[in-house]
Amino acid sequence: MKSSELPIPYGWYAVEYIDELAVGEVKPLHFFGKDLVIFRTESGKAVLLDAYCPHLGAHLGHGGEVHGESIACPFHGWEFDGEGMCTKVPYAKNMPAKIQDSPCIEGYPIVEANRVIWAWYHPRNIAPLFDVDILPEVNEPGWTDCHRFEWEINTCLQETGENGVDIAHFVYVHSSIEMPEAHVELSGHHRITTMHSRTPAIDENGVLDQTGENWEKSRLVTTSCGPGMTYQSFERMFTSFMLGTITPIEKGKVLMRWTFAQPEDQSDIQKMYSDGMIAEIARQVGQDIPIWEHKIYQPNPILCDGDGPIAKYRKWFNQFYDGGMDDAPIRLVQ
Ligand code: FES
Ligand SMILES: [Fe+2]
């Protein structure tokens, strides 16, 4: 089965960084298999609508202008607000009856949190079924943004998330010295993955112990809030926090973004190690991408007893497909 055959799951998805959409700004976007327009109204509210004007079909993201709380179409000046209601037809004596009481463009619920503009997508336009987690590390003073990364990848959300519980691939794709242990806890739309591994100890002079004799046990806890948001904090001799977002562009194509934050008062040497770790995990994504882009999705994989909690992960992910997927039982071959 190709990853482009899996449906787009419902959830909150990052569509833009808050600081990349100024008051009055209008941008075309393409997510969820749809052409979209995002704009920020004069009062500062971010709005996401389907792109095409219900009048004669102009794309509001190419030449549309913010007028107060609405966007004006570049073609004949009709205006639409954040709910997709037509607020003005500048040259009509009477508003067309059809658009007087109900929206005429599809809009998306929006939350601005964690430096990100999140849009709720559901294939049947059902209202949000859970909330975006609020993360102190990216909201409170004392933390600073340090790095942002972005990849457009020909795969689907379920596949990239599965990477985190697929412990064997760390050895074969990322050259980890040994397989980590992964434990998954599920609670509604949350998934918490705890990974135990051993990593080279770093002494007070910043020197890595490569002998393997004094390795530190490390524990990494990753929380997912629905299919489009994941976060983790790294605490060793430095502190670093990562927010990962993944947004469906089309079936079989995703935009993955990572943003890192760190405490402002971290020393230069701590920042240097944090930067080194961030560069390394970004490099590892580069190793995953060719696998993701060329693999198929195996709905009935043959798993062995050394594989990670893949079946548990899939059961959790399945809840975000509207109507579920017909997953046949997973075979375990030992
Ligand atoms: S196409 Fe938008 S106002 Fe005519
Ligand atoms: Fe990986």
Is it true that 3-121 and 137-318 share their CATH fold?
no
* Burial environment of residue 73 by CB neighbours within 10 A (0 to 12, 13 to 18, 19 or more): buried
What's the 74 CA to ligand 1 centre distance in angstroms? 7
Report which bound ligand comes closest to the CA of 308.
2
- Angle value at C-alpha 116, between 218 and 58, nearest 5 degrees: 145
Contact 109, 238 (CB under 8 A): no
What's the 57 CA to ligand 1 centre distance in angstroms? 6
Query: Which CATH code fits 3-121?
Result: 2.102.10.10
Distance CA 73, CA 57 (A): 10
* 59, 60, 73, 80: residue to mutate for ligand 1 pocket, most atoms within 8 A of CB: 73
Q: What's the confidence (pLDDT) of residue 60?
A: 98
The ligand 1 atom nearest the CA atom of 53 = 2
DSSP letter for 158, please: H
More confident call, 26 vs 305 = 26
What's the 105 CA to ligand 1 centre distance in angstroms? 12
Entry pTM: 0.92
Which residues line the pocket of ligand 1, CB cutoff 6 A?
A: 53, 55-58, 73, 75-78
Report which bound ligand comes closest to the CA of 284.
2
Distance CA 158, CA 181 (A): 21
Distance CA 1, CA 8 (A): 15
Q: What is the pLDDT of residues 137-149, one digit of tens each?
A: 887 788 888 789 9
More confident call, 298 vs 276 = 298
The ligand 1 atom nearest the CA atom of 89 = 3
Distance CA 115, CA 159 (A): 26
Protein residue with least CA distance to atom 1, ligand 1: 56
Token pair 């926090």: residue: 241
Domains of the chain, by residue range, sit at 3-121, 137-318
H or E element at residue 288:
helix 268-294
Would you say residue 318 has pLDDT above 50? Answer: yes
**What number of residues does the chain have?**
334
Among 41, 24, 70, 17, residue whose Cα is nearest residue 255: 17
Lowest mean pLDDT among 57-66, 107-116, 173-182: 173-182
What's the 294 CA to ligand 2 centre distance in angstroms? 14
Report which bound ligand comes closest to the CA of 80.
1
Would you say residue 124 has pLDDT above 50? Answer: yes
* Burial environment of residue 239 by CB neighbours within 10 A (0 to 12, 13 to 18, 19 or more): middle
CATH class of 137-318: alpha beta
Lowest mean pLDDT among 11-25, 97-111, 145-159, 176-190: 176-190
More confident call, 179 vs 300 = 300
Strands 110-113 and 86-88: unpaired
Among 69, 77, 34, 18, residue whose Cα is nearest residue 53: 77
Q: List the beta bridge partners of residue 117.
A: 16, 112
Strands 79-81 and 86-88: antiparallel
Which phi and psi (to 5°) does residue 81 adopt?
Answer: -95, -170
